[in-house]
Amino acid sequence: MKEIWSEQKKLQYLLRVEVALAKAEAELGFIPKNAAKRIERAATKVTLSRVREIEKEIHHDIMAVTKAVSEQISADADYVHYGATSSDITDTSLALQLQDSLKILLSKLRKLLSVLVNLADDHKDHVCAARTHGQIAVPTTYGLRFAVWATEIDRHLRRLCEAQPRIEVGQITGAVGTQAAFGTQGPEIQARALELLGLGSVEVSTQVIQRDRHAEYVMMLANIATSLDKIFTEIRTLQRSEIDEVSEGFGKTQIGSSTMPHKRNPIKSEQICGLARVVRSFVLPSLENNTLWDERDLTNSSSERITLPEATILTDHVVTLSVNVLGNLQFNDERIKQNLNLLRGLNMSEAVMIQLAKRIGRQQAHEIVRSAAMAAYQSGETLVNALLAEPVVKEHLSREQLEWMIRPENYVGTAIQQVENVVSLLRQDACQE
């Protein structure tokens, strides 16, 4: 990903566009056929160092590329960049960068999805304590958690796939979008040049491709990074010493702290969460880049030299880290069981209330169970003993029935079935290549 956004690779994208333009113009008789061949050969000889030398002198990046190509040609140099404006080259080459970046992102997101689907399948009946408001709630399964995350990553994959036709587009429209320099052949030249590059075409443009497309791209990256922020905030929570149910893999020689030898810190998860903040920070400038003056100004250009490479590279990095961490998760089964039973059955109050409601009505059942639960909190008693102190409960439910009701594995509803459905669905289709 870093290579795609390097200066050397960027130059190669720019040269590809210049060559495609010349080929299209030659095929349509707009420039001599030999000129296109010479331009193509000359482009292979252009070096980044030479382009930089020229740019330092003339202070124009695309004219520096054009001059670097032209000086490699003994004849027909005037046909380099013929009829085009700088944005035709820069915006179209940017589309090539985004196209190649999306290939990598989609591939890595599919790997991440596969890891999550496998985790969901492997842990579909792994019962654990769910939490709402940071408090232990009724049981869930780790498989259901992973399934929720998997479907979210699947939605990101679909969003990227759906957005590709809007993002991977170029333009050959000239100075202010009228194609005046190409005469009546503008639409044909644009269509053929972009066909040679494997890109879609803008329907219409000013001097630049409108930046709502690029803002959409960055917002999708921010959305992906935020989902990972959420997932790994949960992983970090579950690795807290007080919970200690799940943890990142920890190498035999890995050091957690320079002064506290016992530490096993979730540093990769923390890195993901921290970098997600940076990716999100690029959304605002990306949106503001769409508010250009008239047919164009340059305010987007300087911003995009930072936002697009950084947002893309950082998102690629956190996705890679996510695959690594999730693929090496460690589960502490003993602590998972301890946390399920931490409240002495109080977290199973809904299960009892639902069964009692069938006998005496929901409102009365809710109040009786609530009262017994509050008493158990105060006394440190188990929920079952607190309930059996209530005459109405004792009249309708035996200790054996209550003990069965408060077993966590007996109260996970359709969690396993839901996971199986999700696993089956996502293994069939995940925005396939």
Q: Give me the pLDDT at residue 36, please.
A: 96
Q: What are the residue ranges spanned by the domains of the chain?
A: 7-70, 87-249+264-338, 346-405
CB count in 10 Å sphere of residue 377: 14
Does the structure show a pLDDT above 70 at 368? yes
Q: What is the mean pLDDT of the chain?
A: 95
Check if the beta carbon of residue 235 is closer than 8 Å to that of residue 246: yes
Q: Residue 432 has what pLDDT?
A: 56
Give the chain's radius of gyration (CA, Å).
30
pLDDT in tens, 89-147: 999 999 999 999 999 999 999 999 999 999 999 999 999 999 999 999 999 999 999 99
Catalytic annotation present for 286: no
Output 256 or 23, whichever has higher pLDDT. 23
**For residue 32, what pLDDT band results from cuts at 50, 70 and 90?**
very high
Closest C-alpha to 25, from 110, 109, 84, 105: 84
Can you read off the two tokens belonging to residue 35?
């000129």
- Please list the helix, strand and coil fractions of the chain in percent, rounded to the nearest 5, in that order: 65, 5, 30
What token pair was written down for 130?
Answer: 């769910």
pLDDT for 133: 96
Superfamily for domain range 7-70: Fumarase/aspartase (N-terminal domain) (1.10.275.10)
- Which CATH architecture does the domain made up of 87-249+264-338 adopt? Up-down Bundle (1.20)
**What pTM value is reported for the model?**
0.94
Beta strand segments in 258-368, E: 330-331
List the single range of 119-123, 224-228, 291-295 with lowest mean pLDDT: 291-295
Categorize the per-residue pLDDT at 264 as very low, low, confident or very high, splitting at 50, 70 and 90: confident
Per-residue pLDDT at 76: 76
Q: Are 48 and 8 in contact (CB under 8 A)?
A: yes
- Give percent of the chain with pLDDT exceeding 90: 93
3-state secondary structure the chain: CCCCCCHHHHHHHHHHHHHHHHHHHHHCCCCCHHHHHHHHHHHCCCCHHHHHHHHHHHCCHHHHHHHHHHCCCCCCHHHCCCCCCHHHHHHHHHHHHHHHHHHHHHHHHHHHHHHHHHHHHHCCCCEEEEEECCEEEEEEEHHHHHHHHHHHHHHHHHHHHHHHHHHCEECCCCCCCCCHHHHHHHHHHHHHHHHHHCCEECCCCCCCCCCHHHHHHHHHHHHHHHHHHHHHHHHHHHCCCCCCCEECCCCCCCCCCCCCCCCCCCHHHHHHHHHHHHHHHCHHHHHHCCCCCCCCCCHHHHHHHHHHHHHHHHHHHHHHHHHHHHCCCEECHHHHHHHHCCCCCHHHHHHHHHHHHHHHCHHHHHHHHHHHHHHHHHHCCCHHHHHHCCHHHHHHCCHHHHHHHCCHHHCCCCHHHHHHHHHHHHHHCCCCC
- Ranges assigned E (strand) in 287-347: 330-331
**Which neighbouring-strand residues pair with 201?**
170
Q: pLDDT (tens digit, 9 = 90+) per residue, 297-332?
A: 999 999 999 999 999 999 999 999 999 999 999 999
- Say whether pLDDT at 387 is over 80: yes
pLDDT at 38 over 70: yes
User: Is a pLDDT exceeding 80 seen at residue 396?
Assistant: yes
Q: Is the pLDDT of residue 262 over 90?
A: no
- What integer is the mean pLDDT of 41-54? 97
Question: Catalytic annotation on 123?
Answer: no
- Provide the percentage of residues in the chain whose pLDDT is more than 70: 98
What is the pLDDT at residue 257?
Answer: 64
Predicted confidence at residue 428, as pLDDT, reads 82
pLDDT at residue number 433:
54
Please, which residues have CB within 8 angstroms of residue 406's CB and are 6 or more apart in sequence?
A: 345, 348, 351, 352, 383, 384
User: What does residue 169 show for φ and ψ, rounded to 5 degrees?
Assistant: -130, 145
CA–CA separation, 276 vs 225, rounded Å? 5
49, 59, 74, 133: the active-site residue:
133
Return d(Cα 226, Cα 212) in angstroms, integer. Answer: 20
pLDDT at 180 over 90: yes
* pLDDT value at residue 261: 73
pLDDT band at 251 (very low <50, low <70, confident <90, very high): low
- Over the stretch 334-348, which tens digit does the pLDDT of each residue have? 999 999 999 999 999
- Calculate mean pLDDT across residues 366-395: 94
Among 6, 257, 281, 371, the active-site one is 257
Average pLDDT over residues 142-166: 97
Query: Burial, 56: exposed, middle or buried (Cβ in 10 Å; 0-12, 13-18, 19+)?
Result: exposed
| Residues constituting the chain | 433
Find how far residue 306's CA is from the centre of its chain: 19
Q: Helix, strand, or coil here: 137?
A: strand
Residue 253 has pLDDT above 90, yes or no: no
